[in-house]
């Protein structure tokens, strides 16, 4: 099966102009001409460095993530999906901090100059950067194994960034969206499952995560702690617990699964373990003091994103997960190695 979700449509520029070979021409053709303006960008791509103003009442929130072919995405992933995911996972970090996207840089390492690949990659990158209104202001282009490093910056009002360290005993724990779809996407990719609507949905979840930017900003008003789920719900919630010096109790049957995931998992052939902790969800996991929970209904509506209470913060330092019968679930082996095992 082909992993590519997008057919690689030819780029119109391929036919018009001769193939550029220098680094400068590549930057010019695929990146600087695509960069969009923003009032804070005094100088973008083209000089030795970008010049950017930061509004006086804001703090800068900065993060960087590298995606390496064969490690962070299967090598057959389409250029369009790679570009989307590379920026989306970084935007997800901004969302987790409650930040508004401001600008990003791109360090691209390419094994060869493949114009078709570059055209599709830069089209997709321009698409997501315009959706989330985050302009590209600079970068670096080198030859080497395929890797994409994106640095993002965002703004938060002074002192308002959402941290991992603020969870308090009694807070309710929520997640956005559904958990596990991206992990199932990777599973069906590895199984080379035949395509149908459900499989397409799962692959879309794997390749096109939707960073919860609007939700993150709204949560600065109510959440005591927040993290984005990149490594797995239990693993990432544990970071909140450690940073906040608290424990948590979760109801496993409250953890939201999509209808597709439920259908998929009810099939005897697909009895997977570790579905809740596989990562790549890029949903937000956050804590809210009980008295502020009523505000979440408005936030849920505003951000058009389902929010589900999955448990509460307790004393101690443990993460305990209970099944529907109230029995403690052993999550100590809920990790990557065990995920794909059939039981
Ligand atoms: P230098 O040698 O000074 O690092 P470069 O030739 O690497 O300059 O880069 C020239 C300009 O192009 C800089 O403004 C840089 O930020 C930008 N640039 C280089 N590669 C990329 C890229 N992949 N995406 C966006 N901008 C880039
Ligand atoms: Mg450079």
> In this predicted structure, what is the pLDDT of residue 192?
85
As a whole number of angstroms, the distance between CA 231 and CA 93 comes to 12
The pTM assigned to this predicted structure is: 0.89
For the CA of 27, the nearest ligand: 1
- Tens-level pLDDT at each residue, the chain (343 residues): 333 323 223 344 444 444 456 788 888 889 886 666 678 899 999 899 999 999 999 999 999 999 999 999 988 999 999 999 999 999 999 999 999 999 999 999 999 999 999 999 999 999 999 999 999 999 999 999 999 999 999 999 999 999 999 999 999 999 999 999 999 999 999 888 889 999 999 999 999 999 999 999 999 999 999 999 999 999 999 999 999 999 999 999 999 999 999 998 887 666 567 899 998 999 999 999 999 999 999 999 999 999 999 999 999 999 999 999 999 999 886 654 434 443 2
Q: Is 183 left (phi over 0), alpha (psi -120 to 50) or beta?
A: alpha
For the CA of 23, the nearest ligand: 1
Residue 99 vs residues 60, 275, 281, 339: alpha-carbon distances, Å: 9, 29, 19, 33
Q: Are 165 and 225 in contact (CB under 8 A)?
A: yes
Q: Is 181 left (phi over 0), alpha (psi -120 to 50) or beta?
A: alpha
| Mutation pick for ligand 1 pocket among 20, 34, 45 (CB with most ligand atoms within 8 Å) | 45
* Antiparallel, parallel or unpaired: β 100-110 and 147-157: antiparallel
- In the DSSP assignment, the letter for residue 30 is I
Task: Pull the structure tokens for residue 84.
Answer: 């989307």
Atom of ligand 1 nearest to the CA of 23: 6
> In this predicted structure, what is the pLDDT of residue 274?
83
The closest residue, in CA terms, to atom 8 on ligand 1 is 48
> In this predicted structure, what is the pLDDT of residue 24?
82
Residue with tokens 């950017």, as numbered in its chain: 52
Residues in the chain, how many? 343
For residue 44, the CA-to-ligand 1 centroid distance in Å is 10
Share in percent of the chain as helix, strand, coil (round to 5): 35, 25, 40
As a whole number of angstroms, the distance between CA 7 and CA 136 comes to 25
The closest residue, in CA terms, to atom 2 on ligand 1 is 48
Could you write out the DSSP letters of every residue in 214-228?
HHHHHHTTT-SEEEE
Q: Taking the chain, what is the end-to-end CA distance rounded to the nearest angstrom?
A: 25
> In this predicted structure, what is the pLDDT of residue 294?
95
| Mutation pick for ligand 1 pocket among 140, 141, 147, 148 (CB with most ligand atoms within 8 Å) | 140
Residues lining ligand 1, judged by CB closer than 6 Å?
23, 27, 31, 45-48, 106, 108, 136, 138-141
For the CA of 139, the nearest ligand: 1
Q: Are 279 and 235 in contact (CB under 8 A)?
A: yes
Q: Are 49 and 137 in contact (CB under 8 A)?
A: no
For residue 139, the CA-to-ligand 2 centroid distance in Å is 7
Cα R_g (the chain), whole angstroms: 21
Task: Pull the structure tokens for residue 79.
Answer: 């250029």
> In this predicted structure, what is the pLDDT of residue 170?
98
Residue with tokens 């596989």, as numbered in its chain: 278
> In this predicted structure, what is the pLDDT of residue 196?
94
> In this predicted structure, what is the pLDDT of residue 336?
43
CA–chain centroid gap for 106, Å, is 17
């Amino acid at each position: 099966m082909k992993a590519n979700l997008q057919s690689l449509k030819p780029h119109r520029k391929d036919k018009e102009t001769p193939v550029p070979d220098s680094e400068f021409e590549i930057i010019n053709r695929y990146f600087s001409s695509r960069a969009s303006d923003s009032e804070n960008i005094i100088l973008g791509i083209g000089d030795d460095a970008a010049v950017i103003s930061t509004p006086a009442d804001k703090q800068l929130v900065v993060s960087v993530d590298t995606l390496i072919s064969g490690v962070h995405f299967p090598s057959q992933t389409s250029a369009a999906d790679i570009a989307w995911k590379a920026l989306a996972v970084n935007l997800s970090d901004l969302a987790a901090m409650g930040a508004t996207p401001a600008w990003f840089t791109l360090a691209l390492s390419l094994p060869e100059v493949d114009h078709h690949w570059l055209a599709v990659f830069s089209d997709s990158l321009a698409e997501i950067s315009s959706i989330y209104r985050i302009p590209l202001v600079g970068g670096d282009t080198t030859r080497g194994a395929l890797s994409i490093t994106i640095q993002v910056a965002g703004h938060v009002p002074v002192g308002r960034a959402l941290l991992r360290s603020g969870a308090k005993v009694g807070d309710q724990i929520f997640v956005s969206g559904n958990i596990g779809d991206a992990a199932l996407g990777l599973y069906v990719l590895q199984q080379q499952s035949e395509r149908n609507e459900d499989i397409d949905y799962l692959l879309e979840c794997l390749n096109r995560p939707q960073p919860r930017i609007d939700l993150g900003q709204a949560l600065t008003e109510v959440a005591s702690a927040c993290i984005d789920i990149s490594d797995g719900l239990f693993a990432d919630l544990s970071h909140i617990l450690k940073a906040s010096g608290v424990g948590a109790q979760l109801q496993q049957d409250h953890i939201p699964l999509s209808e597709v995931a439920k259908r998929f998992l009810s099939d005897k052939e697909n009895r997977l373990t570790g579905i809740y902790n596989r990562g790549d969800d890029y949903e937000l996991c956050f804590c809210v003091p009980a008295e502020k929970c009523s505000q979440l209904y408005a936030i849920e509506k505003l951000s058009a994103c389902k929010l589900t209470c999955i448990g509460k913060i307790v004393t101690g330092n443990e993460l305990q997960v209970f099944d529907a019968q109230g029995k403690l679930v052993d999550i100590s082996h809920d990790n990557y190695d065990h995920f794909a095992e059939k039981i």
